Amino acid sequence: MFQSINPATDEILAEYPEMTAADTRRVLRLATAAFTHWSRTDFAERSALLNSVAEHLRSDPDPLARLATLEMGKTITEARAEITKCAWVCEHYGSHAEAFLADETVDLGDGRRARIAHRPLGPLLAIMPWNFPFWQVFRAAVPALMAGNVVVLKHAANVTGCALAIEALFRRCGFPEGVFSVLRLPGSAMRRIIRSRSIAAVTLTGSTEAGRKVASAAGAALKKTVLELGGSDPYLVLEDADLDLAARTCARARMINAGQSCIAAKRFIVVESIRKAFEQRLVAEMERYTTGDPLLESTRLAPLARRDLRAELHRQVRASLDAGARLLLGGNPPPDDTPGAFYPATVLTDVRPGMPAFDEETFGPVAAIIAARNEKEAIRLANRTTFGLGSAVFTRDLERGTRIARDELLSGGSAVNTFVQSDPRLPFGGIRDSGYGRELGPIGIREFVNTKTILLG
C-alpha cells in the first residue's frame, strides 16, 4: 500500500494499493498494443494532442499545483511554476519535434545516396522521483511521445496522486489508452519490468544507487537507458566576482525546491580573500528563506518531502560540524513532535573534503562554504567529487568565466554569473556518478529512437 502524506502536517492524504500481477500485465499489454498505432501517427496529430495538454495546464494550473504542494510539500508558487513549465515543454516539442527528427539525405557519390531516419523504439519505462512530480515526468515523456514512443510511468510512491493526475490529463486531452500509463509498483519490482519484452528502453531520474541498479538490469537485457542522477554542484566565487550578485544567485540556486534538486547549488567554493564578505552576504540572503505553510503565497521555504529525508540531512550537518565545520546559520530542526518535515535554512563554513557536506549530496536547504587560495585550487576542489551534473563560476571577467565553465569544470552543464537550470531548448544531464545520456533539446528527443540508415541504389 502506497501512502500519500502531507509533509507540512503529517496528514495521510490517500492510500493506493499496489497493482496486482494481472493489472501489471494488462498495463504492459496495452502499452505494446498502443505503440503499434501511435508509432504510425504523424507529427501533426501528436502535436495537436500535446498542445491540448499545454492549454489545460496553462488555463487551470492551480489544481495540479495544489496537489504537488500537498503530496511533496513544495511551495505553491514553485508548484505553479512547475505546471507552467510542463506546458512549455509540450509546446516546444509540439513545434520542433518534426524538424529534430527529419530524415537526412547523404550523397555517397557515383549516383548513390543514403537516407538517415529516426524511428521510435517502443514502450519507454520512465522511473521518476518525487521532487518535481510533474516536470520530471513531462521532460522525459513529452519528447518520447513526440518521437512516436509510448510511455509507462513508475513514479515515486509518495506522489502517486500526481502520477494518476498526469495519466488522467493525457486521457482527457485525447491520448489513446496505453500511450501514457502508470504502474503502481515498488522500486523492487523494476528489475522484472525492465526484463519484460514489452519494455524497449528505460529512463531514470533518481539517486546514483538507483541508477546503478537500473543500468545493471537494463544492461543485462540490452536495453537503452538514460540516467539523470544526483549531484553535488560546485559554485566558484572568484576574487573579482560581484559579491551581491553571487550571494543572491547562490542562495536562490541552493534553495530551489527547499534544496531538494539534483541541480541545486550545494558547494560554494570561495577564494579566501573575499570569503568573509561573501559569507556575510550569503547568510543575509539565506535568512530571507523562512519556513511556513507551503500553500501560502508568502512562504519561501517549504518542508522537506519526508521526515526520513530530514533525518538524513541533519545527520550530514551534524557529522560535518563534528569534523570541524562551523555553523553560520540554522542547523537546528524543530522537535520531532512538531508536525511536518521542516528544516531551517542552514549555512556551514570551513567545510573540507572528508565531510558529508563536501563529499555527499545534501538534499535540503544547506549551503556549504569551502575556502580556496586561488582560482586553481577552487577548480581542483570543485572537481574533487564523484558527481558531475552542474557547476557555476562568478567573475566579472566573462572570458575568464567562460573558459573555466567550458574547459575546467567537470559537469554536464555549467553557468557563468547565473545558476544552472533545465530548459526544453537545451540538452540536460550529467557525467560520472551523475549519470549519462541527455534529456531535452534536439539531442534529448533522439535518445530513444532507432537512428536507421537506408541505402538507396
CA distances to 199, 258, 428, 429, 450 from 411, rounded to whole Å, are 30, 23, 11, 9, 27
Q: Name the residue type at position 439.
A: E
Dist CA 182 CA 161 (whole Å): 11
**Average of per-residue pLDDT values in the chain:** 98
Residue 191 has pLDDT above 90, yes or no: yes
Place of cell 500526481: 162
457 burial via Cβ count (<10 Å: 0-12, 13-18, 19+): exposed
CB 211 within 8 A of CB 226: no
The pLDDT value given to residue 442: 98
Give Dmax (Cα) for the chain. 79
Rounding to the nearest 10 degrees, give the CA dihedral for residues 335, 338, 343, 345: -90
Q: Residue 292: helix, strand or coil by DSSP?
A: coil
CB 305 within 8 A of CB 158: yes
Q: What is the pLDDT of residues 365-400, one digit of tens each?
A: 999 999 999 999 999 999 999 999 999 999 999 999
The pLDDT value given to residue 321: 98
- What is the rounded average pLDDT of the residues 417-428? 98
- What is the rounded average pLDDT of the residues 114-122? 98
- What is the rounded average pLDDT of the residues 54-66? 98
Residue 260 has pLDDT above 90, yes or no: yes
Q: What is the pTM (predicted TM-score) of this model?
A: 0.97
Domains and CATH numbers, the chain: 2-229+431-456 (3.40.605.10), 233-416 (3.40.309.10)
Dist CA 55 CA 38 (whole Å): 22
Give percent above pLDDT 90 in the chain: 99
The pLDDT value given to residue 111: 87
Residue 457 has pLDDT above 90, yes or no: no
The pLDDT value given to residue 333: 96
The pLDDT value given to residue 36: 98
Which H or E run includes 411?
Answer: none
Residue 110 has pLDDT above 90, yes or no: no
Dist CA 394 CA 444 (whole Å): 28
The pLDDT value given to residue 214: 98
Q: What is the pLDDT of residues 148-169, one digit of tens each?
A: 999 999 999 999 999 999 999 9
Nearest to 12 by CA among 188, 165, 161: 161
Rounding to the nearest 10 degrees, give the CA dihedral for residues 260, 141, 389, 449: 170
CB 1 within 8 A of CB 15: yes
The pLDDT value given to residue 165: 98
Give percent above pLDDT 70 in the chain: 100
> Residue 368 forms beta bridges with which residues?
267, 348
Show which residues are catalytic.
228, 262
CB 395 within 8 A of CB 372: no
Could you tell me how far CA 348 lies from the centroid of its own chain?
Answer: 25
Q: What is the pLDDT of residues 9-48, one digit of tens each?
A: 999 999 999 999 999 999 999 999 999 999 999 999 999 9
Q: What is the pLDDT of residues 297-347, one digit of tens each?
A: 999 999 999 999 999 999 999 999 999 999 999 999 999 999 999 999 999
The set of cell numbers assigned to 125 is 519505462
Nearest to 311 by CA among 354, 363, 253: 363
